[in-house]
Structure formats: structure tokens, C-alpha cells
């Protein structure tokens, strides 16, 4: 069985396979109109979504399959206390593949560990959002034409922005990528991404506090919303919510071929006067999300029948039950029946939670 819980679940070859298949779907949509006839996708969305849920739904419909699920956990038996593991075992009776979004970090991994069908992480808390990453990569491919030799600026909420964490992990697989991190101190990239992805995998990065000082060297500007729903302190959110606003005026020094990406929704970090600029790719990016999710579901369903494509979800060096996660939003702290699992840290310094990549509680 194969799942997509984190971008690192896919090899470089598999990433390219999915992007190439998405391009083939775009070129000949009719060819794929019935390839999932008789298949069912379950969309289990415990957290609000417009793009991800609807693009998964549209993707399965365009492949000739059907979709069931919920978009509000309160309308399901989750409201009666059913666990992620039990919900997954139940849904396995009704669907061939599952897409799960959850506010709790690690929930899709728990689902995958209990599933007899492929599970796709459609966003877990502020941890990861691998299908947005596939969307971003397809957009870079279609807009810029290459994955190598790029300077990519990430601007805004790099702390809670799960799409940022996932895209940086995926970009670490490509050659000659430079990362520019544009964020206030309060919203800096988590240290595990900096040290265990960028440093460990040789992805150079610089940290700056203003967009103006770097905009002229960027090939991609990845704007993000400040994630209000992840703040524990509303006053802190108010202090940083308007830290960066991209306007048409600020684009004067940007390269003509630069592209602006944003996972959306936006609040006010991109002024509407930017929308008509040909460099604004964020609404084209949305449609790419449908095509790449079509490609991903086709691949996961194909790989499910191939023993050589099987990959264990947990590494052999996993440590069970010895530590407790320090992250209050980790599934190991929110569902009592979830076993605590840690793995040695990639930087050789201690251990990290398998579900959310946080350090253990002291």
C-alpha cells in the first residue's frame, strides 16, 4: 500500500511521474474520462476548505469515479467521539481511496496506519500539505518550465504555513535551488525545516525581513496568509497580521518572468491590483490543483496493486512509548489511544515526533 502523508514519501522519480501524468491529462482530458469508473474517493474534511476538497471532488469526477464524505466533522460520528483510526476503518468499507484534512497534526498518518486503502494528507494543522506542494510544482513547471536553477522567496507566515514546509521539502530534491525566507521574527520557519531539511539536504537559504530588498532576484515569490486559526494568542496575531502586503507598486523591481504563487485563500497579503499582472499565477495555480490530484489518485491506485511500490509508513528505528510530544496540537496528545512514536532526528540531535516532527516534552 502507498499513501501520501508527507512530500518525502515520494522519490524524485515519483514526483516527476506525477507531474508528467498531470501534463498528459491536461493535454488529453478525454483519454482519462473513465479510468476511475467504479472507484470511490472519500473526502474526510475535519477543517474548512474550498480548493482542496472541491478540487479532489472535481478530480475524481473527471476520472469517471464517485465521491462521498463529509466537509464538517460535526455532521459525522466524530462529534460523538469516534477516533480517526475507527473512522478510517469504517470508511475503508465504502471507498477505494481517502483524502483527509484535519486541524490536528499527524491525524492523516494515524489514518494511514489503520487503513486498507491509500490515504492522502489534504493538510494537517500547521504541519504538512503535500498535495498543495504537487499543485505548486505543476504550476512552476507550466509557468516557468523548470525545477532547477530557481531562487524561490517564501513570504509571510513561514511558521504555521504548512504549504511552505512541504514545498521546501520537495524543492530540496531539485538541483541549484536557493531559498529566501521573508518573515518577521514571530513567523520564522520552524527550526526542524531549516536544519533537518535545508542544512541536511544542502538547500541554501537566507533570512530577510523585507520583501523589497530581495524581490529583484526571485524567480518565484510564494506569498502566504498569516494563519489566524493557528495562533494561541490573538494579540500576537494582531501584531503580525499585516506584516507583508504585496502591491503592484512593489512589483516594479521584480523580474518580468517572475511568478507569484499563493496557496490561497488570501486575506490582504496580496492587493487586488496585483491580480491583473501576468506574473500573478495564483488563480491559474488553483486549476493545476485539480489536474495534479487526478494524477496523484491514479498513481496511488495503480501503486496499491504493485508490491514493489509498497513502502512502510514507519521506519525500523521508531521508538515506541518512551517520550511524550511537546506539541499540544499533535494527535498523540489529543487522541488518548494514539501510541507515542519518535524517530532519531535527521541532524543526529535527539528524537522527533513521527506525527508532527516536534521535540519531546521535557
Cβ neighbours, 10 Å, residue 275: 13
How far apart are alpha carbons 345 and 357 in whole angstroms?
9
Q: At closest approach, how far in Å is the CB of 54 from ligand CP?
A: 8
Q: At closest approach, how far in Å is the CB of 50 from ligand CP?
A: 4
- 3-class SS at 353? strand
Q: At closest approach, how far in Å is the CB of 53 from ligand CP?
A: 6
* Interaction between residue 288 and ligand CP (CB under 6 A): no
Closer by beta carbon to ligand CP, 21 or else 264: 264
How far apart are alpha carbons 132 and 124 in whole angstroms?
12
- Considering only 123, 130, 153, 161, the residue that binds ligand CP (CB under 6 A) is 123
Q: At closest approach, how far in Å is the CB of 187 from ligand CP?
A: 18
- CA 260, 265, 267, 272 dihedral sign is positive
Contacts of 100 (CB under 8 A, 6+ apart): 44, 45, 46, 84, 107, 108, 111, 119, 120, 121, 122, 124
Q: Is 235 exposed, middle or buried (0-12, 13-18, 19+ CB in 10 A)?
A: exposed
- Considering only 71, 83, 121, 132, the residue that binds ligand CP (CB under 6 A) is 132
The site that binds ligand CP (CB under 6 A) totals a number of residues, namely 9
Catalytic center residues = 51-52, 80, 101, 129
Choose one: 56-64, 146-154, 263-271, 332-340; the region binding ligand CP (CB under 6 A).
Answer: 263-271
Closer by beta carbon to ligand CP, 43 or else 340: 43
Q: What residues between 23 and 52 interact with ligand CP by CB under 6 A?
A: 49-52
- Considering only 264, 280, 297, 300, the residue that binds ligand CP (CB under 6 A) is 264
Q: At closest approach, how far in Å is the CB of 132 from ligand CP?
A: 5
Look up residue 116 and give its three cell numbers.
486498507
Closer by beta carbon to ligand CP, 246 or else 341: 246
How far apart are alpha carbons 278 and 273 in whole angstroms?
12
Choose one: 104-112, 178-186, 235-243, 257-265; the region binding ligand CP (CB under 6 A).
Answer: 257-265
Choose one: 29-37, 177-185, 247-255, 259-267; the region binding ligand CP (CB under 6 A).
Answer: 259-267
* Interaction between residue 198 and ligand CP (CB under 6 A): no
Look up residue 271 and give its three cell numbers.
492587493
Phi, psi at 342, each rounded to 5°:
-130, 155
Q: At closest approach, how far in Å is the CB of 176 from ligand CP?
A: 27
Best CA proximity match to 175, nearest among 144, 139, 214, 146: 146
* Interaction between residue 263 and ligand CP (CB under 6 A): yes
With beta carbons less than 8 A apart as the criterion, state whether 162 and 127 touch.
yes
Residues forming contacts to ligand CP in the complex (CB under 6 A) are: 49-52, 123, 132, 263-265
Amino acid at each position: 500500500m502507498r499513501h501520501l502523508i508527507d512530500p518525502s514519501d515520494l522519490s524524485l522519480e515519483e514526483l516527476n511521474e506525477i507531474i508528467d501524468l498531470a501534463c498528459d491529462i491536461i493535454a488529453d482530458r478525454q483519454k482519462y474520462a473513465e479510468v476511475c469508473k467504479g472507484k470511490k474517493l472519500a473526502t474526510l474534511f475535519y477543517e474548512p476548505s474550498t480548493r482542496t476538497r472541491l478540487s479532489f471532488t472535481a478530480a475524481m469526477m473527471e476520472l469517471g469515479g464517485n465521491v462521498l464524505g463529509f466537509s464538517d466533522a460535526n455532521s459525522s460520528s466524530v462529534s460523538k467521539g469516534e477516533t480517526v483510526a475507527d473512522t478510517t476503518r469504517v470508511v475503508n468499507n465504502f471507498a477505494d481511496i481517502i483524502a483527509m484534512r484535519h486541524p490536528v497534526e499527524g491525524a492523516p498518518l494515524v489514518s494511514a496506519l489503520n487503513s486498507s486503502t491509500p490515504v492522502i494528507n489534504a493538510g494537517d494543522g500547521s504541519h504538512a500539505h503535500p498535495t498543495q506542494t504537487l499543485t505548486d510544482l505543476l504550476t512552476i513547471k507550466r509557468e516557468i518550465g523548470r525545477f532547477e536553477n530557481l531562487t524561490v522567496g517564501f513570504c509571510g507566515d513561514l511558521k504555521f504555513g504548512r504549504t511552505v514546509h512541504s514545498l521546501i521539502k520537495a524543492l530540496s530534491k531539485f538541483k541549484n535551488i536557493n531559498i529566501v525566507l521573508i518573515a518577521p521574527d514571530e513567523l520564522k520557519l520552524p527550526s526542524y525545516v531549516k536544519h533537518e531539511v535545508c542544512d541536511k539536504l544542502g538547500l541554501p537559504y537566507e533570512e530577510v525581513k523585507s520583501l523589497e530588498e530581495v524581490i529583484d532576484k526571485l524567480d518565484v515569490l510564494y506569498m502566504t496568509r498569516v494563519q489566524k486559526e493557528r495562533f494561541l494568542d490573538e494579540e500576537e496575531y494582531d501584531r503580525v497580521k499585516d506584516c507583508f502586503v504585496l502591491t503592484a507598486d512593489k512589483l516594479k523591481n521584480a523580474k518580468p518572468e517572475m511568478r507569484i504563487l499563493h496557496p490561497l485563500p488570501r486575506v490582504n497579503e496580496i492587493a487586488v491590483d496585483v491580480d491583473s499582472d501576468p506574473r500573478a499565477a495564483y488563480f491559474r495555480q488553483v486549476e493545476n490543483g485539480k489536474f495534479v490530484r487526478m494524477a496523484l489518485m491514479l498513481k496511488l491506485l495503480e501503486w496499491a496493486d504493485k508490491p514493489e511500490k509498497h513502502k512502510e509508513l514507519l521506519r525500523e528505528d521508531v521508538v515506541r512509548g518512551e517520550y511524550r510530544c511537546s506539541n499540544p496540537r499533535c494527535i498523540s496528545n489529543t487522541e488518548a489511544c494514539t501510541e507515542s512514536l519518535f524517530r532519531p532526528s535527521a541532524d543526529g540531535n535527539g528524537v522527533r515526533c513521527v506525527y508532527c516532527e516536534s521535540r519531546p516534552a521535557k
